[in-house]
Chains A and B, each alone.
Chain A
């Protein structure tokens, strides 16, 4: 018996050693894609796979997010090369389409595939997904959803035109739906000879960023294959049957339909693995690495062990494990890159008029046991809280230095970023002075009590909440700020309903243009406007909305910079929020991997650029 056991053990152990294969790259990450179809993709894990399976019209030039190179389009449209043309106030972008490009299916890419791809995305437009970007760009911010666009055209709500079974409610509704495609959508993206022409209602500064590679919402799909797999048939009559479906009801949810440098072998959702294989007929030449395995390994200890043992080439390290990454580097087992900017900001903003029914403002009065709903509409209160944030200590101690203080909610490196603007200042004396002026001195005399929420498990938000609680309370014993950890659903729900006195939230860029951050945080129509209250919205309409709209419509960079600077100066002057930090990246790879460079617009890794030595 003992002998059998020993022999079995020896056999098992003897088979374990496999040399690192230069043809196979294993990337250990966290999370997994939601979908492999650009239709529903709005997360970095999905984006990473899609950018390797699909091409876009244009691509970024190296690390730049403002310089472009051709991709499926043979030229980058510009006024200088005559491919951006103004006609009656509308702006036409002309993309000459590369010939001879093969899809993974063997089908040849044509301009019709480009037209189909974008029209499919616009008409599909699932709720909460990314296609508001192209709709906003085409309509000069008039619309964000195809349903609103249709309602404006047809004079009837989409839900009044199509029933729950996806059938038109009446003949009149059907006629409107058909003509909406024929008269509104179809003319926007047209094939002209071997080009595809996009017609925008007016200038939109971020348009090229939106259609550029790494944006899964601009990935070009194989239209023939899509139709064979039961997706939209490209016709006006019936497009609504494919509108706002579930992710797995679209053709490429778990099937590759692109022309990118890698083909999909399998998306194993149970094992959290995506397996890719080099596409040898790729138009720009085959990739260096043959097989890629993207593997979701949630447990850090396991990830690190596998990376250390040489069973993985790239591994995700959370910033809190920076020391361990550096230790591996010191042993020659890893190469670590850090400090490069990431297109993200984490901020704290105030609610100028807390919604009725909030349970987080104590008595609801300025009586020492609560706050009134409009507590943060007083600029002195906002300034006082801002002076209580010790950003330098937070970045050094909590996120291991993997972050930077920035003046406003605009990441470094973006158009309009201005390093001469003042950074958030930690100054308790100034905080006390502001509190003394707040609410005509009542705040200082009576004190207040409120709760600051964070979602449990998010250590950064928790620490910020505790830090503010500690420093604000230290200024005056009558000030009580209670940190309260809640589950993510409660946190999200309370924010959306405007119940939180102040909220901590991040924003990751959809596309690398200042509009994506400035409008989100500061405009009255921005994503975070509702949670800052009606009084904030009124302030934004009066003070910054016009400049934000003008900036996205301006074609001159200098003009845009000027406008964004003005908005940021007001954001600082009126203390609209506290820009807590801009994360900086951390990349850990094995010494055998070459070719990686930081690119803020990219989701995860673009394996076409990578190679691996023996």
Chain B
């Protein structure tokens, strides 16, 4: 794992370094006023060692990483690591709430679609999936915002309403997980919990619809393949009820490829979703990394890549382990 992480950072570091000191300087210059003093550019280049050879800069950075210093994040306005740790709970919360409908509904729809292959319900679900797959998330998100907030006033953007937000920043509030819904329950504030849920509904709906499309298609094709197997035919020939054939014999075996994709979707969600976070004014890793890339905030970009690589590696490990639970033929050695 360390080798992969070093490889990832080395590649990104080289690409950023190749821009040269003059371009890297832009991450410290937000406006021309910052160059008012005659030698401001030279001072900044020297201060941040932008003109040093790439191996020197990389080894310095690596040395700092080993001491827990990931550099200063221009986007986070604090150290890169604290900035990411501050945002991760929000992404985790959104992932937790989104993944339940994403997986359950997608699998359910995929199974229904496969079982009713080429019938109206199958066609309907496939069109539904196709629309979700084709629709850009910012368009769907904005549509939801328009209908459910601007027109109906039901589900606002943000994390919680302003009054609750002020309570959550007061001295009496016990910030435990930084996840509003969970902290609300731990603080015994069911009203804030409900409000936080209300703010989660549209982002979850947006994410869910987009991921359903993908997961549903995998489930459907996997189910169709399994339903053609001999042992399914045998089960049916023996008179096993159709419900048990589907649920017990077919569905479980069809889940192996689905699990890979579902695992990937969890990893993807943990990496954050830029547009959903931006449209619904939510905090998260996706927006952090997108802002870092826009501002050429290279310490944040590299820190984010490291963090995301770590998530990918751990996530894939978890998926591999879970294979063994689903398929007894697979054993971990």
Q: B-contacting residues of A (Cβ < 8 Å)? A: 11-13, 15-18, 21, 24, 26, 32-35, 42-43, 127-130, 132, 144-145, 147-148, 159, 244, 246-248, 253-254, 265-266, 268-273, 275, 291, 293, 295, 297-299, 301-302, 305-306, 308-309, 311, 488-490, 492-493, 496-497, 505-508, 510, 520, 525, 527-528
In the complex, what distance in Å separates the CA atom of A144 from the CA atom of B43? 13
Say what secondary structure dominates the interface of chain B.
helix
Partner of B23 from A11, A253, A309, A489 at Cβ < 8 Å: A489
Docked CA distance A411–B20 (Å):
36
Contact partners of A295 in chain B: CB under 8 A:
281
Name the segment of B4-12, B77-85, B221-229, B309-317 touching the other chain: B77-85
Stretch at the interface among B100-108, B119-127, B157-165: B157-165
| Chain A residues positioned under 8 Å from B283 (CB to CB) | 270-272
Task: Write the chain B residue with the least CB distance to A148.
Answer: B39
Min distance, Cβ B15 to any Cβ of chain A, angstroms: 13
11 A-B pairs within 8 Å (CB atoms) are namely A15-B195, A16-B154, A21-B163, A24-B162, A128-B29, A145-B37, A265-B169, A269-B77, A269-B78, A301-B146, A311-B161
B35 pairs with A496, CB closer than 8 A: yes
Q: Tell whether A305 pairs with B157 under 8 Å between CB atoms, given A127-B43, A248-B78, A265-B169.
A: yes
Q: A127-B47, A293-B162, A301-B279 are in contact. Are A497 and B22 (CB under 8 A)?
A: yes
Cβ of B19 and Cβ of A489 under 8 Å apart? Answer: yes
Question: Is B197 in contact with chain A by the CB < 8 A criterion?
Answer: yes
Contact, CB under 8 Å: A128 / B43 = yes
Q: Assess whether B31 is in contact with A508, with CB atoms less than 8 Å apart.
A: yes
- Interfacial chain B residues near A311, Cβ < 8 Å: 156, 161-162
- Structural contact, B77 and A34, CB atoms closer than 8 A: yes
Given contacts A132-B36, A247-B77, A299-B278, contact A269 B86 (CB under 8 A): yes
* Contact indicator B22/A21 (Cβ below 8 Å): no
Q: Is the CB of A43 within 8 A of B156?
A: no
Q: Are B77 and A248 in contact (CB under 8 A)?
A: yes
B166 at the A interface (CB under 8 A): yes
CA distance A489 to B21 in the complex (A): 10
CB pair A35 B77 closer than 8 Å: yes
Q: Is the CB of B37 within 8 A of A132?
A: yes
Q: Roughly how many angstroms separate A13 CA and B165 CA in the complex, as a whole number?
A: 18
Verify B150–A309 contact, CB threshold 8 A: yes
Contacting pair A492 B72 (CB below 8 A): no
Given contacts A18-B161, A270-B86, A510-B36, A299 and B194 within 8 Å (CB-CB): no
B36 to A527, Cβ gap below 8 A?
yes
Residue of A nearest to B148 (CB): A13
CA distance A38 to B291 in the complex (A): 24
Cβ-neighbour of A144 out of B24, B36, B77, B79 (below 8 A): B36
Interface status of B326 (Cβ within 8 A of chain A): no
Which chain B residues numbered 82 to 134 have a C-beta less than 8 Å away from chain A? 83, 86-87, 90
State the CA gap A18–B166 with chains docked (Å): 14
Whether B214 sits at the interface, judged by CB under 8 Å, is no
- Supplied contacts A33-B77, A246-B72, A489-B27, 12 more A-B pairs, CB within 8 Å: A12-B197, A132-B37, A159-B46, A247-B77, A265-B166, A269-B83, A293-B162, A299-B281, A301-B142, A301-B146, A302-B278, A306-B281
Q: Which of A15, A16, A130, A254 has the most CB of B within 10 A?
A: A16
Q: Which residue of A lies closest to B19 (CB)?
A: A489
- Tell whether A43 pairs with B30 under 8 Å between CB atoms, given A270-B86, A293-B165, A311-B161: yes
* Cα of A497 to Cα of B20 in the assembled complex, Å: 13
Asked if residues B72 and A248 are in contact (CB atoms below 8 Å), the reply is yes
Cα distance, A253 to B82, chains bound together (Å): 15
Question: B327: CB under 8 A from chain A?
Answer: no
Please judge, given known A-B contacts A128-B40, A247-B77, whether A309 and B153 are in contact too, CB under 8 Å.
Answer: yes
B150 and A24 form a contact (CB under 8 A): no
| B296 contacts the other chain (CB 8 A) | yes
- Which of A21, A43, A244, A505 has a CB less than 8 Å from the CB of B32? A505
Chain A min CB distance to B279 (Å):
5
Nearest-neighbor residue (CB-CB) of B90 within chain A: A270
Report the Cα distance A611→B156, complex, angstroms: 25
Cα of A16 to Cα of B28 in the assembled complex, Å: 42
List the 10 shortest-distance A-B pairs measured between CB atoms, nearest first.
A489-B26, A493-B22, A127-B43, A489-B23, A128-B34, A144-B37, A270-B283, A12-B198, A270-B86, A128-B40
User: Whole-angstrom distance between the alpha carbons of A493 and B78 in the complex?
Assistant: 26
Chain B interfacial positions (CB closer than 8 Å to A): 19-20, 22-41, 43-44, 46-47, 72, 76-79, 83, 86-87, 90, 142, 145-146, 149-150, 153-159, 161-163, 165-166, 169, 191, 194-195, 197-198, 201, 278-281, 283, 296
Q: Which residues of B contact A510 (CB under 8 A)?
A: 33, 36
B156 with A309: CB separation less than 8 A: yes
Question: How far, in Å, is A549 (CB) from chain B's closest CB?
Answer: 15
Q: Which residue of A127, A272, A308 is within 8 Å of B40 (Cβ)?
A: A127
Known: A15-B198, A21-B163, A269-B76. A302 touches B281 (CB 8 A): yes
Is B29 within 8 A of A15, CB to CB? Answer: no
Task: Write out the residue numbers on chain A whose beta carbons fall within 8 Å of the beta carbon of B163.
Answer: 18, 21, 24
- Check B25 against A308 for contact (C-beta < 8 Å): no
Closest to B159 in A: A271
Of all chain B residues, which has the CB nearest A246?
B72
What residues of chain B lie closer than 8 Å to A34, measured between beta carbons?
Answer: 30, 77
- CB <8 Å contact, B78 and A301: no
The CA of A22 and the CA of B317, in the complex, are separated in Å by 53
What chain A residues lie within 8 Å of B33 (beta carbons)?
42, 130, 507-508, 510, 527
Contact partners of A266 in chain B: CB under 8 A: 169
In the complex, the chain B residue whose C-beta lies closest to that of A308 is: B150
CB distance from A54 to the nearest CB of B (A): 18
Chain A neighbourhood of B197, CB < 8 A: 12
Min CB–CB distance B47 → chain A (angstroms): 5
A246 CA to B80 CA in the complex, in Å?
13
Please, which residue of chain B has its CB at the minimum distance from the CB of A505? B32
Q: Once bound together, how far apart are the Cα atoms of A497 and B42, in whole Å?
A: 12
Query: In whole angstroms, how far apart are the Cα atoms of A291 and B169 in the complex?
Result: 12
Q: How far is the CB of B16 from chain A (nearest CB, A)?
A: 11
Question: What's the least CB distance linking B20 to chain A, in Å?
Answer: 8
Cβ A493 vs Cβ B161 within 8 A: no
A275's nearest neighbour on chain B, judged by CB, is B169
